[in-house]
């Protein structure tokens, strides 16, 4: 079993990952700015911000640390440098580092434009997509002393489109995955299953991958 720390472990993606990992018997620590009233059995919940150096130092004392914090509200412009700081601490500790990013940096077709560069992409999410893309770009520039993975969920992923747990998913690389109707969707439960599967059976070393139905 692995020791897994999820920074942002009470958010939509993070909360599902925490629940899935704990359900499989892993030792899970959730770090978030507030501790939830309803806790997942077997999970250690700690209050703290990814912006706090002491919190970041503690977070990497694990086999895998995953940052699931979105650059929204008062976190705009702060997630990228914070994620890079955690990654450097993970490198020094020998901890595997993961990030849950967005779909904006995925190509809509092979060698095509990125989703965030299309006319259909909402302006309200462009700053978030750009910041998460900056994290991905930074990771790709690192040498092999840092073992990392960056996950871009389907375009239709989030609390606004919870979907249903199917127990199945597809993975891809840098191109947006769509179904036969041209839609790209994923539930929180199925994203979590993909992440914990990657932890248990690592496939994507120093790579971005995408997950969708």
The answer to whether 147 and 205 have CB atoms below 8 angstroms apart is: yes
The answer to whether 184 and 154 have CB atoms below 8 angstroms apart is: yes
What is the residue extent of each domain of the chain? 3-212
pLDDT at 161: 84
Q: Classify 3-212 by CATH class.
A: alpha beta
- DSSP tag of 85: H
pLDDT at 115: 98
pLDDT along the chain (213 residues), means of 10: 98 98 98 95 97 97 98 96 98 98 97 97 96 98 98 95 92 97 97 98 98 97
| Phi (first) and psi of residue 189, to 5 degrees | -65, -40
The Cα 107–Cα 173 span in angstroms is 10
pLDDT at 147: 98
Instruction: Please give the structure tokens belonging to residue 58.
Output: 């503690």
pLDDT at 163: 86
pLDDT at 16: 98
Question: Which of 122, 130, 144 lies closest to 79, judged by CA?
Answer: 130
Helix (H) or strand (E) segment spanning residue 170 = strand 170-172
- Taking only the tens place, the pLDDT of each residue in 16-37 is 999 999 999 999 999 999 999 9
Instruction: Please give the structure tokens belonging to residue 135.
Output: 């994290």
Instruction: Please give the structure tokens belonging to residue 32.
Output: 């978030």
Helix 188-200, helix 12-23: angle, nearest 10: 50
The answer to whether 135 and 169 have CB atoms below 8 angstroms apart is: no
pTM over 0.95: yes
């Amino acid at each position: 079993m692995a020791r897994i720390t999820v920074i942002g472990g009470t958010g939509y993606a993070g909360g599902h990952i925490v629940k899935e990992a704990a359900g499989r018997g892993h030792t899970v620590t959730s770090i978030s700015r507030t501790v939830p009233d309803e806790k997942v059995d077997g999970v250690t919940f700690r209050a703290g911000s990814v912006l706090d150096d002491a919190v970041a130092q503690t977070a990497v004392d694990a086999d895998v640390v995953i940052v699931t914090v979105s650059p929204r509200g008062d976190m705009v412009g702060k997630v990228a440098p914070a994620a890079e700081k955690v990654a450097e601490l993970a490198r020094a500790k020998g901890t595997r580092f993961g990030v849950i990013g967005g779909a904006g940096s995925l190509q809509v077709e092979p060698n095509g434009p990125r989703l965030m560069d299309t006319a259909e992409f909402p302006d309200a999410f462009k700053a978030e997509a750009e910041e998460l893309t900056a994290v991905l770009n930074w990771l790709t520039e690192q040498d092999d002393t840092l073992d990392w993975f960056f996950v871009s969920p389907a375009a239709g992923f989030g609390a606004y489109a919870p979907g249903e747990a199917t127990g199945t998913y597809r993975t891809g690389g840098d191109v947006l995955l769509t179904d036969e109707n041209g839609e790209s969707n994923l539930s929180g439960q199925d994203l979590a299953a993909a992440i914990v599967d990657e932890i248990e059976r690592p496939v994507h070393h120093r790579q971005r991958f995408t997950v969708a139905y």
